[in-house]
Amino acid sequence: MSLVIVGSVAFDTIQTPHERREKIVGGSGTYCSLAASFFAPPKIVAVVGKDFPRDVLALFKARKIDTRGLEIRSGKTFHWEGRYGEDPNQRETIRTELNVFENFHPTLPDSYRSARLVFLANIDPDLQDDILSQVRSPEIVAMDTIKLWIATKPDAIRRVLGKVDILFVNDEEVRLLTGEANLVKAARLIRGWGPRLLVAKKGEHGAMFFGQHETYVLPAYPTPVVVDPTGAGDSFAGGFLGYLDKTGKAGRPDLRRAAVYGSVLASFAIEDFGIERLKAIKKRDIESRYREFHRLVSF
């Protein structure tokens, strides 16, 4: 199908109850592209500063991620700082420095414009809209966002949502978007705005899927190793969309399998800081955890 991903490629400073890491590589576009690359090569759209490490750009290339849409500009790379409490689902943003993203208005390479799948990973919704308008006729458009944009750019979010098929957000964001405490009612509202599938992520409690004809739930993989929850949501989306890209289908059973692959990738991402775990795993690790999921949910 071919999948275009727009999102942040970033430096993250992460504080967990046990450890602090300064300026490690992260970003919604990074996690999502790496996760998707296990299935089919995605095309990334983002910008980094000259301070971004060359070896990570080399890793993208080694994973066959198309980087023709990844600009390197003079200036500093996007920097986000977050802090987690004892509950890994609770995180606080300490700082967001957009840096080179501030004036980023890319023109998509021609080879990107015929993409059939587009993922608007967490980034300024005006940028999401701008990129989307450059893709000729995508079959599936998916989107993620966070509190910051819901609070500062609600109109832009509603405009983009009107063009989106699948929305990935966490349960807190669902409530912020709609002002509705009940997830089922909130899902109905959101589906009325555009998306035909809402994926409400609930961190270590898994995710709920609200589609046109069905609602279902998927647990998170019960891992005892939660080192750094950053990137779980993006890795989920990357696994989900990478699988759809590979199969070339998006029927109901395909969407369910995609959800399991998404959960598998998310469960790996959180087992180490930053992208370390996604760098280390192999396709066979993914398949083996996929099979474990089958045992986990069948009865």
Distance CA 87, CA 279 (A): 26
Site string for ligand AMP, 82-101 (x = CB under 6 A): --------------x-----
Give 15 or 116: the residue with its C-beta nearer to ligand AMP. Answer: 15
**Dist. CA 292–CA 297, nearest whole Å:** 9
Cα 53 versus chain centre, distance = 21
Contact call for residues 186 and 195 (beta carbons, < 8 A): no
Q: How far is the CB of 8 from ligand AMP (least distance, A)?
A: 3
Give the interface segment with ligand AMP, choosing from 20-28, 55-63, 152-160, 257-265 (CB under 6 A): 20-28
Name the one range near ligand AMP by CB under 6 A: 26-34, 43-51, 128-136, 243-251.
Answer: 26-34
232 near ligand AMP (CB under 6 A)? yes
Report the 3 state secondary structure along 57-94. HHHHHHCCCEEEEEEEECCCCEEEEEEECCCCCCEEEE
Strands (E), 147-189: 166-170
The bridge status of strand 207-210 relative to strand 215-218 is antiparallel
Q: Measured from the CB atom, is 28 or 134 closer to ligand AMP?
A: 28
Q: Which two tokens stand for residue 46?
A: 């983002």
Alpha-carbon separation of residue 96 from 12, 148, 257 (angstroms):
9, 9, 34
Does position 148 interact with ligand AMP (CB under 6 A)? The reply is: yes
**CB-closest chain residue to ligand AMP:** 26
* 227 SS3 class: coil
Distance of alpha carbon 268 from alpha carbon 272, whole angstroms: 8
Torsion of CA 120, 126, 131, 136, to 10 degrees: 100
Total binding residues toward ligand AMP, as defined by CB under 6 A:
17
Stretch of residues binding ligand AMP (CB under 6 A), selected from 21-29, 52-60, 209-217, 257-265: 21-29
With contact defined as beta carbons under 8 Å apart, do 163 and 194 qualify? yes
238 binds ligand AMP per the rule CB under 6 A: no
Task: By CB under 6 A, name the one of 2, 16, 28, 37 that touches ligand AMP.
Answer: 28
- Which one among 12, 66, 228, 245 touches ligand AMP, defined by CB under 6 A? 12
**How far is it, in rounded angstroms, from Cα 189 to Cα 27?**
29
Q: Whose structure tokens read 């501030």?
A: 102
Stretch that binds ligand AMP, among 104-112, 127-135, 150-158, 228-236 (CB under 6 A): 228-236
Select the span of 44-52, 111-119, 150-158, 225-233 touching ligand AMP (CB under 6 A): 225-233
| Residues in contact with 137: Cβ distance below 8 Å, sequence separation at least 6, in sequence order | none
Asked if 2 interacts with ligand AMP (CB under 6 A), we say no
Q: Interface with ligand AMP includes 81 (CB under 6 A)?
A: no
User: In the complex, what is the shortest distance from the CB of residue 111 to ligand AMP, in angstroms, rounded to a whole number?
Assistant: 25
Given the complex with ligand AMP, which of 97 and 188 has the nearer CB atom?
Answer: 97
Binding test (CB under 6 A) with ligand AMP, winner from 69, 125, 195, 231: 231
The interface region with ligand AMP, picked from 5-13, 33-41, 219-227, 290-298 by CB under 6 A, is 5-13
Residue 142 lies near ligand AMP (rule: CB under 6 A): no
Q: What gap in Å lies between CA 173 and CA 146, rounded to an integer?
A: 7
Site residues, ligand AMP (CB under 6 A)? 8, 10, 12, 26-28, 80, 96, 122-123, 146, 148, 230-234
